Structure formats: C-alpha cells, structure tokens
Structure 1
Amino acid sequence: MGKTALILGATGLTGKLLLNRLLADKAYECVKVLSRRPLGLQHSKLKVFIGDLLKLEQFESDFKGDEVFCCIGTTASKTQDRDIYKQIDFGIPVSAARLCKKNGIENFLVISALGANAEGQIFYNRTKGEMELAVLKQEIPNTYILRPSLIKGFREEQRIGEAIGAILMSIAQVFLIGKYKKYRAIEADTIAKVMYSLAQTKPKLRIIESDKIEELGCLS
C-alpha cells in the first residue's frame, strides 16, 4: 500500500514544487493538501481540504498519513500585524506538530529560516526560533527543521523587497565562502528536493542549515 503525505503551504513557492514531486512519485498513493483556498489543480492522488489554517484543529479527522510537510510562512511586508504574523509562522507549524503527535504521525518536516533564535532580538528570527523549540517539544521521532537563507525562484506574486534582495545576494554570492556559505541564496526547488529526500532517508540530523540543504540537494 502506498504512502500518504500531507502538505501545508502548497500554494507557496516551495510547497508547489514539493507537491509536484510527491504527485509524480509512485510511492505515494495519496497527497493531502490543507489550504485556505483551492489550488486550481486536479490529480487522481490529490485531496484538497479547504479551511482556516489558523484553526487547524478543524482538520483533525483528516490529519492522518505517513508524513507532514509544513511549508507555511509569511513576510513582514505581507503581514504587518505582528499578532497575525505569529499566528501564521508560529501557530500553524506548532499546531501541525501537535496534530502529528496526537494522530501518531512520526515524520514532520518544516521550513524555518536562517538565523532562527528563540532568544534573538529580531522579531522574525525570534518567532522562527520559538516555533522550532515548540515543534521539537512534541518529540515526533523524525522531525526535520530546514533553515534556508533567501529563497530563490519564480513567484507569481512579486515581492519588491525580495527581488531587490535577490539581486544583491546574487552579486554577493562570490564572497560568501567558508563559514559564510550558509548565507547564500538557495533555490526553492533545492529545498523541495531535500524535504522529499529527508522523508525517505530519515537521517539523524534534525536541524539543517542552508549550506547543508544545498549540499544535500546536490546529492539527491
């Protein structure tokens, strides 16, 4: 019998790429997507559940499978209200991890961010760090937290700040060597590929920094 995967954030850049990869894999019999809006995609393996992700408990009866991939995330420019921002970047991944624990799902993969630090002064990094600690507290056997740097890739919704950042980062790439390699921008497809690979191989590594994601992507 084939595996069942659940994805949160399948309408985002990395989530879309991961979804396509899972749908193409014969090892997966069913791919469930939890979303606040329709995907505009049809596939025999695909099941889409529409609802408010800020109230994830409403999906509890359908929150069953072998692996959960959480690609949820927003930006300060897109979500300026800090309370709502935290509900998204902290609340959704942590609620998903709790449902994994409750429903006996042993594989949870989540995208965090480079510089995540629960004790940090920067709100964005602190929120991500607090999310990581809360997720790890669930003690899901195979938990993988990915910390990518600036994510590259085509977005239908262009973000000016990210576009400028990408240009500057591409110029700076050549100087980011040694211990600074983890600050290099990374392709969304590389992140999706590594999330998929981690779910299959289940290594002991739990927190994967951006340079390690790049390295694993080359091996996949």
Structure 2
Amino acid sequence: MGKKALIAGSTGLIGNELLKLLLNGEDYEQVVAIVRRPLEVKHSKLVEKVVDFDRMDEYHEIFAVDDVFCCLGTTIKKAKTKEAMWKIDVDYPVEIARLASSHGAHKFLLVSSMNANPESSIFYSKMKGQLEVEIKKIPFDTTAIFRPSLLLGDRDEFRMGERAAAAISTKVPFLFAGPLRKYKPIEGRTVASAMYQVAQKDAKGLTVYPSVEIHDISQ
C-alpha cells in the first residue's frame, strides 16, 4: 500500500502548487484535501472533504494518514479581525496536528513565516511564532517547519508588497546577495517543491527550514 497524505490550505499560493505535486507524483496513492468549499480539481487520487473547520473533530476518520501538509493562512484584509485571523493561522493548524497525531500520522509539514517569534511585538510574527510553539508540543516522528520570506506567485488578490518585491528582485537581484540572501522573495511553487521533497526523506525529529534552505532544497 502506498502512502496517504492530507493537505490543508490547498487553495492558497503554496497549497495549490503542493496539491499538484502530491497528485501527480508517485509517492502517494491517496491525497485527502480538507476544504471549506469544493475544489475545481478532478483526480483519481484526490479525496475531497468539505469540512467545518470549527468542528473538525467530527471528521476524525479523515486524519488517519501518513503525512500532513499544512499551508493554512490568511490576511487581516480577508479575516477582518485579528481574532479571526488567529483562528485560521493558529487554532486550525494546531487542531489538525492534534487529530492527525492521535490517528497515527508520522509527519507534519507546516508553512510558517520567516520572522516567526512568539515574543515579537508585531502581531503577524507573534502569531506565527505561537503557532510553532504549539505545533512543537504535538508528537510526530517528523515535524518540518518552513519559514519562507516574502512569497511570490499568482494570487486571487492584489498585494502591493509582493508586487514591489517581485519587481525589485527581478530588476536588481544583487540586492539579495550575500547576507541579504535570506530576505530574497521566494516563489510559492519553490516552497511547495521543498515541502514535497522533505516529506520523502527519513529524517526524524524537528527541523526548521529558513527561506535560503527552502530554495536550495527545491533546486
């Protein structure tokens, strides 16, 4: 029997690219995508589950998989409030990890943020830092946390910061050389590729992957 994967956040920039890799690769025989709304994707490996993320314990059977990929995340513009954003970026991933661990999942791969720090005075960085703190408490054979820098790629919404970063990194790439390389914007598909590749390794324990290493792995 081949491996089973579960992905949360498959409609996002990284998750969408990762879903393609999971479905088209040869390492998984089944891919469970938990979503709030139906995907416009058809594939023989895909098991789509529309769930109420506030009541995930009612769908406990779908968490009996080998590897879990969590790409959940939103913006304050979409979430409207910090409380709603925290629920999506922290509470949901932690609940997914808890349920997956209790059903015997071996690996948990999480998208975090470059500046994740639970002690930060910046809300976003503090939120992602607290997410990492909580995920690290949940037992898996392998926990992989990915901390990409500013993400690039096609999104449904316009983000001025990402457009500006893309322009700068294209026109004056030398600005991100040497010590500043860690700040170089990174494509969503690059992060997805690194997550997929790391999941196929036998490494045990906790590993945190900074943006530079994510880029190197994907190459």
User: So what's the TM-score if we normalise by structure 2?
Assistant: 0.93
**1:215 matched residue in structure 2:** 216
> Is 2:118–2:129's contact at 8 Å kept on the other side of the alignment?
yes
CA distance in 1: counterparts of 2:174 and 2:79, whole angstroms: 32
> Is 1:170–1:185's contact at 8 Å kept on the other side of the alignment?
no
Gaps of 5+ in 1: none
Structure 1 residue 3: deviation in Å? 1.0
Cα deviation code 1:105-159 (max 9, x no counterpart): 1100010000000111100000000000100011312000000011111123333
**1:99 matched residue in structure 2:** 99
Structure 1 residue 207: deviation in Å? 0.4
**2:188 matched residue in structure 1:** 188
Q: Which moved more, 1:47-56 or 1:6-15?
A: 47-56
CA distance in 1: counterparts of 2:111 and 2:27, whole angstroms: 23
| 1:99 to 1:41, Cα distance in 2 relative to 1, 3 A | same
CA distance in 2: counterparts of 1:164 and 1:178, whole angstroms: 21
Paired amino acid for 1:80: K
Structure 1 residue 60: deviation in Å? 1.1
Structure 1 residue 2: deviation in Å? 1.2
> Is 1:150–1:186's contact at 8 Å kept on the other side of the alignment?
yes
Paired amino acid for 1:16: N
**1:198 matched residue in structure 2:** 198
| 1:125 to 1:173, Cα distance in 2 relative to 1, 3 A | farther
Q: Kindly report which structure 2 residues correspond to 1:26-45, keeping only aligned pairs within 5 A, or say none.
A: 26-45=26-45
**2:56 matched residue in structure 1:** 56
**Number of aligned residues:** 218
Cα deviation code 1:48-83 (max 9, x no counterpart): 000222332232121111100001111233223000
CA distance in 2: counterparts of 1:146 and 1:56, whole angstroms: 24
CA distance in 1: counterparts of 2:107 and 2:209, whole angstroms: 15
Paired amino acid for 1:129: G
| 1:55 to 1:177, Cα distance in 2 relative to 1, 3 A | farther
CA distance in 2: counterparts of 1:55 and 1:208, whole angstroms: 31
**1:150 matched residue in structure 2:** 150
| 1:172 to 1:87, Cα distance in 2 relative to 1, 3 A | farther
CA distance in 2: counterparts of 1:124 and 1:209, whole angstroms: 17
| 1:80 to 1:162, Cα distance in 2 relative to 1, 3 A | farther
User: So what's the TM-score if we normalise by structure 1?
Assistant: 0.93
Structure 1 residue 203: deviation in Å? 3.0
3-state SS of paired residue (2:209): strand
Runs of 4+ in 1 over 6 A off after TM superposition: none
**1:88 matched residue in structure 2:** 88
| 1:57 to 1:170, Cα distance in 2 relative to 1, 3 A | farther
3-state SS of paired residue (2:44): coil
Identity in percent = 39
3-state SS of paired residue (1:5): strand
CA distance in 1: counterparts of 2:172 and 2:183, whole angstroms: 10
Gaps of 5+ in 2: none
